[in-house]
Structure 1
Amino acid sequence: MKYYLGVDIGTTSTKAIVFDEKGKEVKKASREYPTLSPQAGFKEQDPEVIFQAVIDSISNAASDLSGIIDFISFSAAMHSIIAVDKEGLPLTNSIIWSDSRSEGYVEEYKISGKGREYYKRTGTPTHSMSPLYKLFWLRDNEKELFKNTHKFISIKEYVIYKLFNVYKVDFSIASASGLFNIYTRKYEPKILSDIGISEGKLSEAVPTTHILRGMKEEYSEAMGISSSIPVVIGASDGCLANLGSNSIKEGAASITIGTSGAVRVAFNKPVTGEGERTFCYILTEDKYIVGGAINNGGDAYRWFRDNFGELEVLESKERDISSYEIFNRYLEASPPGSRGMIFLPFLTGERAPYWNSNLRGSFIGISDLHTKPDFTRAVIEGICYSLKDVYTSIEALVKEVKSIHINGGFMRCEEWIRSLSDIIGMPLVVAQSFEAPCLGAIILGLYALKEYDSLEEAAELCRTAEVYAPRKENIEMYNEIFQVYKEAVERLMSLWERLLKYQIK
């Protein structure tokens, strides 16, 4: 039996999972880390804390199996940026996708049309998540630091540099930076000139199938693995979620709900939408993942639990169960539609399809009929409406969506899956493994090491566990509520803008 190790450097944790040659999970380890918010709009993480989480996760997952693991392959969250000096030491924290400090530059580039021009070349929408706009902010607000920076890199590049002493970035992560031309697969000179940096300030861009060897002994020993083990540089978590849920064929869509959420489809060529409502990122030279990501997925559910679930958290500790188990049971006590209450989940602004960091969350339609179970259901339904909003944009680009494959932590809650199926109005295919990015990294690794002739063939490792069909009696109701949801977003935009000045930390 052969074993492979997939590592996903996520927003809230790093996961390392060993899979066997049949795609079955054998052993798993993870380490969480905090997000720092030193002031309003700032979202950062300590890169060294994340690197240690990678070391610990791999060490724990590989223990007792290290001598028989064939390779390691990486997945990572997109849109982070770290400034490092000549010794590779961080000059900044990792500024992550949810950081909105660059919103002023985003607005400027939207108004001038320059952002739209750059989107057409890079596939990265004009939004504060993009490292492009973070670099503008650093250039103008941290001038000395910007001048003294040796390289601007992502969190995955930081990990790769620490392990191998080389600056390399895969095409997938690079294509989500706003700096990389998805047609030429090279950095876009006009954009670099606009920022005022040379290509030498960035890592060498390589295919996602690129293989690294010769890991530093201090880290291979710390992880209990051989320094000569092949390490596939891998791709971004979003692209690998599609691959790891077997949704890279024409007409197959993937929906993810983890910390955030996304809807994605695969194309054999770059595709950018006319309304700049979708992104286009590289998986391989002939596979491009097109879709839209939402800011507020599982983190909105966690916000609700943390702020309104004190009793449930105490109960969960007494019973030694997850507090989410208690909240998930509340869904059974509230009917579909949450008795006419809607949650707009924009706690941290929004990416697709609005690409507006100024959107804010709201509960609409509250009455004295509503109870905590209704609020709980409204939260998960609001996240589902947000994903349907993205899905309708994706549908416009695809001739026909033939199947939808789901992945992410929400799959542990059956009623959440059923609600999403009802709201989307399509059957949802559930894979055996919840951990699509890690499995996708393994599938890409097998393709990179030429164990399979095509990605499509390798993706068959992802096996279907179950299919959830929409409940017919709920479809019409949810369609009507979704229209109210859409109208509410449009009508509230100006009011949210007026309230922003009061949202000071």
Structure 2
Amino acid sequence: MALMGIDVGTTGVKCTITDNCGNYLSDSYAEYHTFSPVQGYFELNPNDVWDSTKKVIKLAASKVTEKILGVSVSSFGESFVPIDKNGNVLMNSMVYTDIRGVGEIKDLLLSISEQEIMERTGLKASSTYSLPKIMWIKKNKPEIFNDIWKILLYGSYILYRLGNICTIDYTLAARTMSLNVEKKKWDEKILAAAGLTESIFPDVYPMGTIVGTINKELALELGLPQDMPLVTGAHDQICAAIGSGTYKIGEAMDGMGSVDCIAPIFSVSVNTEKLAENNYAMVPYIDDKFTTYAYIYDGGTLLKWYRDTFGQEESRLAAETNSSVYDIFNSYAAKEPTEILVLPHFSGSALPYMDPFSKGAMIGLDSNTNKAKIFRALLEGIAYELKINIEKMEENGIHIDSLRACGGGSRSDIWLQIKADIFNKEIKAVKIKEAGTLGVIIMTGFAVGLFPSFEEAMNSLVKIEKIFAPNPKNVDIYNKNYNKYKGLYASQKKLLETD
């Protein structure tokens, strides 16, 4: 018996198949591209995504002989596919960084207050989300809007193409800015303020719910069982949290990818409005629990910048020895805490500031500074920035006792120890680093009855590889440095301020 998971990102799609114990059987990956037809517009062609998805499904399935019991989909949020009654794609998707919708947010706030939006959706009103972009289509492309039958976010779109079903899970629905997160249904008041109706959205279900079966002709084309169930998935960060076994209140997932994201688990008692004021979304999770996203743009991307700027020699060595350049960096990184402070805003600031104009900074250099110290300082700077988010969440009633690390960055023991020391919290590294894929596998396994609950599925499939406890000596050093770091953002902003 086997389980299939599909992970749809903004630049590519991956299909992974495991056995019913979570052991890897096969996978396949295909890329596609976003493009910018006009400055400020960023688009993705839904047909390219679907063609690539079919390709990876077919290739991954061709490598296994076991019967595939079901499939679920992880996907990025906000971006959507408008389709007509015949399922035809009406236009390209606007990626979340697309500027369309900025004016529509202003229009929306004339009809409903920002405070009420926060209370209902757990989100601070922003053009990032789907709702204002749908409003933009209605205002600027009425000929397209009038033909819209359904708005499908990408996880929903793939399930629709697989089985002609229109469904969405709570976590993806929450990225539209149209879902009442406590009632877990489309919010009539917000939709009315936007001039929209609930009918254009798909039906909402919990993640891990069987919502249909694959189209028989498509199953034959892709080499899949003709009775294969289709299962609601989740937003990609939620899938990573599930795939890392993050379940108990007080636990958090730390997804160490290009973006570094912490997702803590908490109860409904947290003040939704206060969270949203500080740019933290409130997202439905498992068994009436909730989570949020505390992310920074420059996690793995900052190390890639270091590689491309300073690591030519190490990159050549890695190519010659067929090894990872990041393993080489980790091997020579300074062994003790540095006094260098790095503000990791090379791509602007995400949470908690949400300042796209912020810049990176590095201070504390002297004649003894070398590559080993700079590399460690980058790891420290990312951890300091995340600690600001941890403290900000704790001010809002979300307390983190320990974290589960996943993603490519969690292969670095030195980085995990730095995080444990700076956070002063235990870090558990999960064995399967691609936790998002395991997350949708878990959802599929739960949905088809292999596991009686998400918790038992996590306990069965998620394994801890290593545990990193805080080093008291380093904790003291980092606490002193962190107190200095907290003033770095405001200082650089003032220094670089322009008229």
Q: Compute the TM-score of the two structures, normalised by the length of structure 1.
A: 0.86
What pairs with 1:100-499 in structure 2 (closer than 5 Å)? 100=99, 102=101, 114-140=113-139, 142=141, 144-269=143-268, 271=270, 272=272, 274-276=274-276, 277=278, 278-284=280-286, 286-306=288-308, 308-329=310-331, 332-350=332-350, 352-367=351-366, 369-398=368-397, 400-461=399-460, 462-493=462-493, 498=498
CA contact (8 A) 2:207 2:232 kept: yes
Aligned equivalents of 1:495, 1:420: Cα separation in 2:
29
In 2 relative to 1, CA 21–152 (structure 1 residues): closer, same or farther, beyond 3 Å? closer
What whole-Å deviation, never above 9, does each CA across 1:292-314 have from its counterpart, x for those lacking one?
A: 23333223333443455455444
Aligned equivalents of 1:273, 1:40: Cα separation in 2:
34
- Report the identity percentage: 28
Aligned equivalents of 2:468, 2:150: Cα separation in 1:
47
* Secondary structure at the counterpart of residue 56 of structure 1: helix
Q: Cα offset for 1:254?
A: 1.6
Q: Cα offset for 1:131?
A: 1.9
In 2 relative to 1, CA 370–393 (structure 1 residues): closer, same or farther, beyond 3 Å? same
What whole-Å deviation, never above 9, does each CA across 1:443-469 have from its counterpart, x for those lacking one?
A: 222332333333222220212221011
Please tell me the root mean square deviation across aligned C-alpha atoms, in Å.
Answer: 3.1
In 2 relative to 1, CA 32–106 (structure 1 residues): closer, same or farther, beyond 3 Å? same
In 2 relative to 1, CA 175–485 (structure 1 residues): closer, same or farther, beyond 3 Å? same
In 2 relative to 1, CA 483–220 (structure 1 residues): closer, same or farther, beyond 3 Å? farther
Aligned equivalents of 1:74, 1:483: Cα separation in 2:
42
Aligned equivalents of 2:115, 2:495: Cα separation in 1:
26
What whole-Å deviation, never above 9, does each CA across 1:173-220 have from its counterpart, x for those lacking one?
A: 101221111122211122212322222222222222331433234542
Identify which range, 409-418 or 272-281, moves more after superposition: 272-281
Number of residue-to-residue matches in the alignment = 495
Q: Cα offset for 1:11?
A: 3.8
Q: Cα offset for 1:232?
A: 0.9
In 2 relative to 1, CA 257–166 (structure 1 residues): closer, same or farther, beyond 3 Å? same
In 2 relative to 1, CA 201–437 (structure 1 residues): closer, same or farther, beyond 3 Å? same
Partner of 2:15 in structure 1?
16
In 2 relative to 1, CA 398–360 (structure 1 residues): closer, same or farther, beyond 3 Å? same
Aligned equivalents of 1:315, 1:104: Cα separation in 2:
51
In 2 relative to 1, CA 400–158 (structure 1 residues): closer, same or farther, beyond 3 Å? closer
In 2 relative to 1, CA 402–325 (structure 1 residues): closer, same or farther, beyond 3 Å? closer
Identify which range, 476-485 or 114-123, moves more after superposition: 476-485
In 2 relative to 1, CA 156–275 (structure 1 residues): closer, same or farther, beyond 3 Å? closer
Which amino acid in 1 is paired with 2:490? E
* Secondary structure at the counterpart of residue 343 of structure 2: strand
Q: Cα offset for 1:70?
A: 1.8
Partner of 2:44 in structure 1?
45
Partner of 1:502 in structure 2?
none
Identify which range, 127-136 or 234-243, moves more after superposition: 127-136
CA contact (8 A) 2:105 2:127 kept: yes
CA contact (8 A) 1:264 1:394 kept: no
Q: Where does structure 1 lack aligned partners over 5 or more consecutive residues?
A: 500-505
Aligned equivalents of 1:217, 1:129: Cα separation in 2:
37
In 2 relative to 1, CA 497–147 (structure 1 residues): closer, same or farther, beyond 3 Å? farther
Q: Where does structure 2 lack aligned partners over 5 or more consecutive residues?
A: none
Aligned equivalents of 1:32, 1:422: Cα separation in 2:
37
Q: Cα offset for 1:402?
A: 3.2
Aligned equivalents of 2:368, 2:38: Cα separation in 1:
38
What whole-Å deviation, never above 9, does each CA across 1:334-357 have from its counterpart, x for those lacking one?
A: 35554414132350441x222344
CA contact (8 A) 1:358 1:497 kept: no
* Secondary structure at the counterpart of residue 434 of structure 1: coil
Aligned equivalents of 1:131, 1:479: Cα separation in 2:
40
CA contact (8 A) 1:74 1:233 kept: yes
What whole-Å deviation, never above 9, does each CA across 1:205-261 have from its counterpart, x for those lacking one?
A: 222233143323454234321131112112222222222222211222221121312
In 2 relative to 1, CA 423–179 (structure 1 residues): closer, same or farther, beyond 3 Å? same
